[in-house]
Structure 1
Amino acid sequence: YDDVMLTPFLIQTQALTHGPIHNLSFSWPAGVSWICGDEGKGKTTLLRLLAGDVQPTAGTVTAPEGGVFWVDLQGPTHDATTVQDCWDTLRGRYPSWNEALLQDLSKELNMAEHLEKRLNMLSAGSRRKVMVVAALASGAAVTLLDQPFAALDFGSIRIIKEFLSDAAAHTSRAWIVADYEAPSDVPLARVLNLD
């Protein structure tokens, strides 16, 4: 008989410092958590630190074995990539990728007709949907979402919030969303206010 230690968190920081983030010690459990705050308070910086996309000037991030999903498709680096190529590349990085979920979300969010378009041909909202669909389908232990509702129509926001509401009950995966304020209509495990 082996004692199995249950970890109450999936990802945590210890005395984390970089840019606007100073000496942050915080842990995120399974379910959906929110990082909120005004412009320039460090929401995106914190997500990038959690993902290992940037290195802290001090402190540590302890991430789970099941991987952390993070992608920023807003910059010009990805302009010439098609939607399908983007998803194909990301699929190869995440062993628990859920192709059926990707197909369902692609249809629900009206992305099926854009698969062969380059990202620079898409509206700001459609480009954001490429990231959100990939994030939700990634199957990563921790999924990081930066302002997933920006430039989206109400129908798309509703679909994503429904997904997050269902994900809130998950016991072995975490979704961490950064946006200006936490929603009242999604059950949240933790809220970190950077203001």
Structure 2
Amino acid sequence: MVQHTFLTPHPQTVLQITALTGGPSLSPLFHALSLNVPAGVTCVTGDEGAGKTSLLRLLATDLRPSSGRLATGHATWPDQANAYRQQVFWCDLKSPEHDETTVQEIWDALRLHYPSWNDALLQELAQALDMDDHRHKRLNMLSAGSRRKVMITAALASGATVTLLDQPFVALDLSSIRAIKSFLNEAAHHADRAWIVADYEVPSQLTLASILTL
């Protein structure tokens, strides 16, 4: 049973999930899930196999829901599918299909998908996460942590209404973890944007609007 705990009074809803059904197999992992994701940072927690990544993929429609409705203040899915996807950031760079692509090529491709992309913020994040010197390297030349930072840098610079981050702190150095948490703690005060962070446990030193336990 999904448990959603709000940690801030009178939260502003950024993403409305209505009767969402779907999962990675023919048997739905989620059935008729309805909840409101508030502005700020929400943490999705659960054990291995609980469905953390699958839920993020469903919210991004990277994994197509079998039924249900998803709505931000700007667009709904499935009625405005393309506009909705421009408002929700999701990127998975773990697949070998990305191995020969350079960091800069990844960022350039993602920039085209998100109308509110912030190049100045990308540059700031690239420096803070020590990624500036890796721009022209292929992804298969990077460590697991640096490869993850390619995604995180893009996610935080995307300007998306809803940003989905799957285990963003895995394999990262402490300096990068602190930089990302600092950004997210500032983001916690946004009134019209949401960041959804999936991890096994609630990350420490992170200001949260809500916790979703699977």
Judge same fold: TM > 0.5, yes or no: yes
* Counterparts of 2:61 and 2:145, CA distance in 1: 26
- TM score, norm. by length of structure 2: 0.84
Matches within 5 A, 1:13-162: 13-19=17-23, 20-65=29-74, 67-162=87-182
* Residue 170 (structure 1) aligns with: 190
Shift of 1:23: 2.9
* Residue 16 (structure 2) aligns with: 12
Shift of 1:39: 1.1
Which AA in structure 2 matches 1:10? V
* Counterparts of 1:152 and 1:184, CA distance in 2: 15
Which AA in structure 2 matches 1:45? S
The worse-fitting range, judged by mean Cα deviation, of 52-61 and 159-168 is: 52-61
Shift of 1:64: 4.1
CA contact (8 A) 2:103 2:136 kept: yes
Shift of 1:21: 2.2
Q: How many residues align?
A: 188
- Out of 164, 171, 186, the position equivalent to 2:206 is 186
Structure 1 residue runs of 5 or longer lacking an equivalent are 1-6
Shift of 1:27: 1.2
Which AA in structure 2 matches 1:29? P
Which AA in structure 1 matches 2:197? V
* Residue 3 (structure 1) aligns with: none
Which AA in structure 1 matches 2:20? L
Identity within the alignment, %: 61
Q: CA RMSD in A?
A: 1.4
* Counterparts of 1:154 and 1:24, CA distance in 2: 36
CA contact (8 A) 2:100 2:138 kept: yes
